[in-house]
Structure 1
Amino acid sequence: MTPPVFAHGNLRLYLLALLEEQPRHGYELIQALSDRFGGTYSPSAGTIYPRLAKLEAEGLVAKTADGRKSVYEITDAGRAELDARRHELDAIEEDVTDSVRRLAEGVRAEVDSAMRTLRAELATAAREAKRTATQTSSTANPHAESNRAVHEADLVLNEFRQHLRTELRRQAGRGRVSADTVALLRTRLADVRAEIAKELAGA
């Protein structure tokens, strides 16, 4: 997806910061960036390697061979540039946090929408049961039974939403909520909705 941050020159600075932590292969830098952004931004090799080559040409990083891979390490000149622009790096980190928070809010909106849809479908099923159910014995009351089931389902949905919302907020603070999380949530909820609808249709 389109990166939410990294204005001109910012990615170069962020690469220096990652290499200051430890030497890394190019793929490790790509993975580290993806992890920092909670999966919302994963740069391609075509984005990373040309910048590494330019940093090497400027003497800011050094490259050594490790088998078939190249290991990049920040140089003293690279550390000097990073120290001179440390305030810019802090601003980038704030943007990363804001980006992940916006994604988490989007996930919560997906949860709320899915829960409203499930609740509406259960309520519709209950109304249909009221119209079509017949009393099978003098002691059985399918209408009341159906209403109780809908009430219990509503409680289950609320409990699910609260637990998931709490977990999303906790993981968003660690940068672990990603676009894949939204896709997984949407798919699984659609599966549950379809399964419930099938079960109700055959009831």
Structure 2
Amino acid sequence: MTPVFAHGSLRLYLLSLLAERPQHGYELIQALSERFGGTYSPSAGTIYPRLAKLEEEGLVTKSADGRKTVYEITPTGRAELAAREGELGAIEDEVTDSVRRLASEVRSGVNAAMKSLRADLASAARQARTEGTASGPTTAENDPGPSSHVNSNQALREADMVLNEFRQQLRADLRTQAYRATVPADTVSTLRTQLADVRARILASLD
């Protein structure tokens, strides 16, 4: 995946978040996740080294609050933030572009999974028809007859309609949640896992 922040941008963005109020590391991770609508959540290994560097440069200080370490911007940090206000605006534009790109990746994952599921259903229906033809002459007892094929095709069409409806509804739900900044960072992986499970169960039922 393309890096969300350009080199040095995350450092400045962390300063801007700390300018709002003192925060501990996990709060900063949550704040970044919320800014990205849940489509991006930095790891502790990404955040804490940058906070340590900011502390070394005298731009932030840290203090103990129980078991947590709280970081607070210093006057020097605020001065740097003010001096680089134009850069911060550009970073905000980068964040906006990144949110759109990551949301597009989520939609692409949904579309790809749904296409795969529809293809599997169509393939299963073709295989069933082929096996029925290859079995040779049938008796009246075991011949499914034309009505069986009609029912199979009708079921396939209805399944395709259900899949389209599901895709449209899920897409709308994701957009709503992203607007509310409540989409978890692992949405795409969860989606792929769940759809793979549904696909396996449906194919098993067709055997």
In the other structure, the counterpart of 2:55 is 56
- Paired residues of 2:33 and 2:185 also in contact (CA < 8 A): no
Deviation at 1:39, TM superposition (A): 4.6
- Paired residues of 1:39 and 1:178 also in contact (CA < 8 A): yes
| Partners of 1:135 and 1:12 in 2: CA distance | 68
In the other structure, the counterpart of 1:142 is 148
Which of residues 188, 193, 202 is equivalent to 1:187? 193
Deviation at 1:58, TM superposition (A): 3.8
| Partners of 2:162 and 2:97 in 1: CA distance | 32
Identity %: 63
SS in 1 for 2:63: strand
| Partners of 2:88 and 2:205 in 1: CA distance | 54
SS in 2 for 1:141: helix
Task: Could you tell me which runs of 5 or more consecutive residues in structure 2 were left unpaired when the two chains were aligned.
Answer: 133-141
Task: Could you tell me which runs of 5 or more consecutive residues in structure 1 were left unpaired when the two chains were aligned.
Answer: none
| Partners of 2:165 and 2:70 in 1: CA distance | 48
In the other structure, the counterpart of 1:28 is 27
User: Is 2:17 the counterpart of 1:18?
Assistant: yes
Over 3 Å counting, the alpha-carbon distance change for 1:48 and 1:148 in structure 2 is closer
In the other structure, the counterpart of 2:44 is 44
Deviation at 1:61, TM superposition (A): 2.2
Deviation at 1:152, TM superposition (A): 0.7
In the other structure, the counterpart of 1:71 is 70
| Partners of 1:147 and 1:127 in 2: CA distance | 10
Write out aligned runs for 1:90-169 (5 A).
Answer: 90-131=89-130, 132=132, 134-135=143-144, 141-169=147-175
| Partners of 2:124 and 2:143 in 1: CA distance | 15
Number of residue equivalences: 196
- Paired residues of 1:56 and 1:63 also in contact (CA < 8 A): yes
- Paired residues of 1:97 and 1:175 also in contact (CA < 8 A): no
Deviation at 1:70, TM superposition (A): 2.3
In the other structure, the counterpart of 1:80 is 79
| Partners of 2:113 and 2:50 in 1: CA distance | 42
**Amino acid of the structure 2 residue aligned with 1:125:** A
- When the two structures are superposed, what TM-score results if normalisation uses the length of structure 2? 0.80
- When the two structures are superposed, what TM-score results if normalisation uses the length of structure 1? 0.81
SS in 1 for 2:70: strand
1:122-173: CA deviations, max 9, x gaps?
222333444527237xxx9211111111111011011011112223333444
Please provide the CA RMSD for this pair.
2.6
